[in-house]
Amino acid sequence: MSFPDKLREARKNKGYTQAQLAELLGIAKTTLTGYEKGNREPDVYKIKRLVEILDVKSDWLLDVETREDEIYTEHEIEMIAKYRSLDERGRQTVDDVLDSQYRAASVEEADLFSSRKQA
């Protein structure tokens, strides 16, 4: 189930109308309608507020699958939400920085392994 569908389901389960939930979030009803139709995405702060108001887990609402061996921390879930709220240019920038840091860490690890082998 997608974010818009889960949001709509959670809102209805709590008994809120779109107007009521929008008021609690401090947004226009049309903005909430956009979230539920998939035309708009809430920022990370609105997602955190939705989780509080609707009493749901953020990984469920954001459709982040978790396996027993792969449990995300709240920080990781927040970072995923922030990433998803970026436009294409922002996502590419984050991807580039992450790739650069990963390569640097891989080189450091390879150097450490090599120096241990020689010792």
- pLDDT single digits (tens) 81-95: 899 999 999 999 999
What is the per-residue pLDDT across 22-43, written as a single tens digit (0 to 9) for each? 999 999 999 999 999 999 999 8
What's the one-letter identity of residue 44? V
Site of tokens 């390879």: 110
* One domain, residues 38 and 14: yes
Q: Which amino acid is at 36?
A: E
Domains of the chain: total: 2
- SS3 of 80, please? helix
Within this chain, do residues 19 and 57 fall inside the same structural domain, yes or no? Answer: yes
For residue 62, the domain's CATH number is 1.10.260.40
Measured distance CA(12)–CA(7) in Å, rounded: 9
Give me the domain span that covers residue 68. 3-85
Q: How is residue 44 written in tokens?
A: 């990370």
Residues 47 and 102 in one domain: no
pLDDT digits (tens, 9 = 90+) for 39-79: 999 988 999 999 999 999 888 888 776 555 567 788 888 88
pLDDT at site 16: 96
Cβ–Cβ under 8 Å, residues 21 and 11: yes
Q: What is the pTM of this model?
A: 0.56
Same-domain status, 51 and 101: no
Helix (H, G, I), strand (E, B) or coil at 94: helix
